Amino acid sequence: MAFKVVVRQWQAPLLVEAGATILEAALAEGRPYPHGCRAGNCGSCKSHLFAGEVQMAPYSEFALTPEEAKAGLILACRSVPWSDCELAYIEEDEVAAHPHRVLACRVAQLDRLTHDTMRVRLRIEAGGPFDFSAGQYAEVTFPGQPVRDYSMANRPGEDMLEFHIRAVEQGAVSHFVEAGLALGNAVRLEGPYGFCYYRARHRGPIVALAGGSGLAPIKSILEEALASGARQPIHLYLGVREERDIYLEAHFESLEVRHPNLGFTPVLSEPAAETGRRTGYLEDALLKDFDDLDGAKAYLAGPPVMVESCVEVLKKLGVRAEDCHADPFYTEAEKARLIGEK
Ligand code: FES
């Protein structure tokens, strides 16, 4: 049994099998539905429900506030239709539409970026070409490991796919990457996913905020922007705990030399020793450096707490909510906690 779901942006209705979410059905058919986490945490799939009934699985209030739910908004990634429905997703300026791919890859390069972060480069062996928008992510399955989401750090169209994988506490997969992954290993990859991607049509300033290995999608976005000739001011901030967590500094410094519109600022929240670097949290740095960011677009990737507090400050500085593109990294434990709290 399937329900007919009319999405106002599309000509043909979508058939959603009983028990499936609207987003699952849309992505399975390769239709471009805005989304990010696919787990009720980011709010990217927010939609107006005009007619019909859905049942919503648990989600975080960051993604959909009680007021929004009362006003008839739903999250497509958590909504299982209970009848035929009519809805519309919240319109975005540019929707990324790429074919959904399942790729067979092989580890072609493996090196250490910091004491706890590895860089993995994969060569695609079958299933390509893999088109994606800078800033998107993929589901990655390393040998014998459960699937995890990781953002591509390379620009679309480059030969190899690059991922930055930080060992998280109790993170079985990230520890496997550090200790067990080897050159030549086969890796399955599925995607692309995500809504925090580069909007090329925007001409205002860009503020890019990365927490730790959140630098991966931000790197992809900025490299794409610079390579496609973006001339507006681009302010990149990397928030890490201490000196040893900073990575790719020489890379971004060399980009700064070639592109005077780019500024790169590492910020240390808990420096282990006296330092000449900026200290504090990213939101403090924003408040100190800017009076007004009206017309700017912000891209954020990193831990949810960082993303949420920076978005709040960006809005105070005049960035419109729809210009804040966030990709919070929820660990498996955080996802379980958020859903449990609902
Ligand atoms: S809340 Fe639905 S994709 Fe993130």
In CATH, the number for domain 101-193 is: 2.40.30.10
Helices 282-289 and 304-316 cross at an angle (nearest 10°) of 20
* Other Cβ atoms within 10 Å of 248 Cβ, number: 18
**C-alpha–C-alpha distance, residues 217 and 135, integer Å:** 4
- Give percent of the chain above pLDDT 90: 73
Domains 2-89 and 206-333 share a fold: no
**Hey, what amino acid is at 299?**
Y
Fold of 2-89: Ubiquitin-like (UB roll) (3.10.20)
Which range (16-30, 55-69, 87-101, 286-300) has the least confidence?
87-101
CA distances from 128 to 29, 38, 188, 198, 291 (A): 18, 23, 12, 22, 45
Contact between residue 120 and residue 162 where contact means Cβ atoms under 8 Å apart = yes
What residue ranges line ligand 1, CB within 6 angstroms?
35-38, 40-45, 63, 75, 77
Contact between residue 210 and residue 218 where contact means Cβ atoms under 8 Å apart = yes
The reported pLDDT for the residue numbered 137 is: 94
How many Å lie between the centroid of ligand 1 and the Cα of residue 274?
A: 41
Contact between residue 178 and residue 167 where contact means Cβ atoms under 8 Å apart = yes
Whose tokens are 């200290």? That residue is 279
Best of 21, 24, 27, 41 to mutate for ligand 1, by most ligand atoms within 8 A of CB?
Answer: 41
The reported pLDDT for the residue numbered 23 is: 96
The reported pLDDT for the residue numbered 93 is: 59
Is pLDDT of 85 > 90? yes
Quick check: helix, strand or coil at residue 199? coil
The reported pLDDT for the residue numbered 163 is: 98
The domain 206-333 is placed in CATH, from the list 3.20.20.70, 3.40.50.80, 3.30.1280.10, 3.40.50.720, at 3.40.50.80
How many Å lie between the centroid of ligand 1 and the Cα of residue 162?
A: 24
Residue 27: pLDDT band with limits 50, 70, 90: very high
**Where are the chain's structural domains?**
2-89, 101-193, 206-333
Alpha carbon dihedral 112, 137, 96, 323, in 10-degree steps, equals -80
Is pLDDT of 49 > 80? yes
The reported pLDDT for the residue numbered 326 is: 85
Quote the tokens at residue 208.
């890019």
* Other Cβ atoms within 10 Å of 69 Cβ, number: 14
Given the CA of residue 64, which atom of ligand 1 is nearest to it?
A: 1
Model pTM score: 0.76
- pLDDT, one tens digit per residue, over 170-225 is 889 999 999 999 999 999 999 998 888 999 888 789 999 999 999 999 999 999 99
**C-alpha–C-alpha distance, residues 215 and 114, integer Å:** 13
Query: Pairing mode, if any, of strands 186-193 and 101-114?
Result: antiparallel
- pLDDT, one tens digit per residue, over 95-134 is 677 888 999 999 999 999 999 999 999 999 999 999 999 9
Element (H, E) at 250: helix 249-258
Contact between residue 107 and residue 120 where contact means Cβ atoms under 8 Å apart = yes
Q: Average per-residue pLDDT in the chain? A: 91
Q: Give the contacts of 149 (CB within 8 A, at least 6 positions apart).
A: 37, 137, 138, 139, 140, 193
Is pLDDT of 341 > 50? no
